[in-house]
Amino acid sequence: MTSSSFIPVNEPLLNGNELKYVSQCISSGWISSDGPFVSEFENKFAARVERKHGIAVSSGTGALDIAFTAVGISKGDEVILPTFTIISCVAQLVRIGAVPLVVDSYHDTWNMDVSLIEQKITPKTKAILIVHIYGLPVDYAKISSLAMKYNLRIIEDSAEAHGQVYFDQPCGSLGDISIFSFYANKHLTTGEGGMIVTDSDELMKRCRDLRNLCFRNDQRFVHYNLGWNMRMTNLQAAIGLAQLERLDEFIMIKKNMGKLYTHLLSSIGCLQLPVPSTEYASNHYWVYGVVIDPDRQLTAKDIMGSLLQHGIGTRPFFYPMHLQPVFRQLKVFEDESHPVAEYISKYGFYLPSGLAITEAQIETTCTSLREVLK
């Protein structure tokens, strides 16, 4: 195996106006968060997801941290969310003393099982965090009804749902406040970075204050609240703007990738493949995940190790929040069981899914997977 033959799990496409816009930043000297590309990116991204306000930040994790604080989540408040997600969705809740209540996933879409939410609601519950997983959105209508019934906030994590829609509503427009990540493996990347979007003027102002150390407008180094330095730089925003110009193209590349993988792998009986569509959305394949039949007596870790020997990069599925060692040590979760999340975490992984992947690389990946499964 040589480095030139290795197929990475992700490789972005940066062959649009990225270099042109970054060069403008450098030639003008505007490389910090005060540069004009930041506000332009915020405005155009917010418009794309049909939101009034966009607040660019340094990461998707930072976007979540700010969003939780902006909506008023505090010590003792309960937030319901899926256990099958990334740790960013829980870490800030634990830091501030809030209580994460996790629910299991659906076996087919891998999204949170909305039928399990209502039984978790108590008088202390303040919000539901919805997380769109791996290319398909959450079944939002049922969650919206619960939120109205119990007067709960909805925080929407659309980190993996750039350009995705729920029926005809853009993901990112569904919650009281919504967040995106622009990490290098997302449909739209700034390397690192994130965005908060909302229609609320009040939440917008809170988020802008919190991302910039809560400076007072009339006296810069005087602070009445604690915030973060989570500003996005002009350089990052320039890349993001160039990426946003091609988002529809990128979505089509991903959908075609998913169709080809499904065509090549559908005859393998021991693989669960991604659901191509639901009644409310078609899969846009942020990543192409597969789940191995446990009857093969192989785990995802086994298959991934063998594929690496073939020069194929992979990534495991999320490890459930209720099993995370750090949260078990802190006694955030004790003796919880969420069997679907545990199952797909043990047997699920995703194949090379970057925007720069070629048909030849997909075919090579599928051939190698077949050989490994023999």
| pLDDT at 219 (0 to 100) | 85
**Cβ(246)–Cβ(50) below 8 Å:** no
Whether the model clears a pTM of 0.85, i.e. scores above it, the answer is: yes
Q: Which domains does the chain have, with CATH numbers?
A: 18-244 (3.40.640.10), 247-373 (3.90.1150.10)
**Cβ(60)–Cβ(66) below 8 Å:** no
DSSP codes joined into one string, 168-203 = TEETTSSSSEEEEE-BTTSSS--BS-EEEEES-HHH
Task: Say yes or no to pLDDT of 1 above 50.
Answer: no
Q: What is the mean pLDDT of the chain?
A: 96
How far is C-alpha 8 from the chain's CA centre? 20
User: 3-class DSSP state for residue 157?
Assistant: strand
Question: How does pLDDT run across 77-126, given as a tens digit for each residue?
Answer: 999 999 999 999 999 999 999 999 999 999 999 999 999 999 999 999 99
**Cβ(234)–Cβ(37) below 8 Å:** yes
Quick one: pLDDT band at residue 3, thresholds 50, 70, 90? low
Question: How does pLDDT run across 347-357, given as a tens digit for each residue?
Answer: 999 999 999 99
| pLDDT at 166 (0 to 100) | 98
**Cβ(314)–Cβ(9) below 8 Å:** yes
Task: Say yes or no to pLDDT of 147 above 80.
Answer: yes
Minimal CA–CA distance to 190: which of 352, 7, 10, 14?
A: 14
| pLDDT at 2 (0 to 100) | 41
**Residues near 57 by beta carbon (within 8 Å), at least 6 away in sequence:** 63, 66, 193, 194, 195, 196, 211, 230, 231, 232
| pLDDT at 220 (0 to 100) | 86
Task: Say yes or no to pLDDT of 315 above 80.
Answer: yes
**CA torsion sign, 42 to 60 to 135 to 280?**
negative
Task: Say yes or no to pLDDT of 4 above 70.
Answer: no
Measured distance CA(134)–CA(113) in Å, rounded? 15
H or E segment and range at residue 143: helix 140-150
Question: How does pLDDT run across 241-258, given as a tens digit for each residue?
Answer: 999 999 999 999 999 999
Minimal CA–CA distance to 153: which of 122, 184, 185, 130?
A: 130
Question: How does pLDDT run across 326-350, given as a tens digit for each residue?
Answer: 999 999 999 999 999 999 999 999 9
Question: How does pLDDT run across 195-238, given as a tens digit for each residue?
Answer: 999 999 999 999 999 999 999 888 889 999 999 999 999 999 99
| pLDDT at 341 (0 to 100) | 98
Measured distance CA(25)–CA(36) in Å, rounded? 9
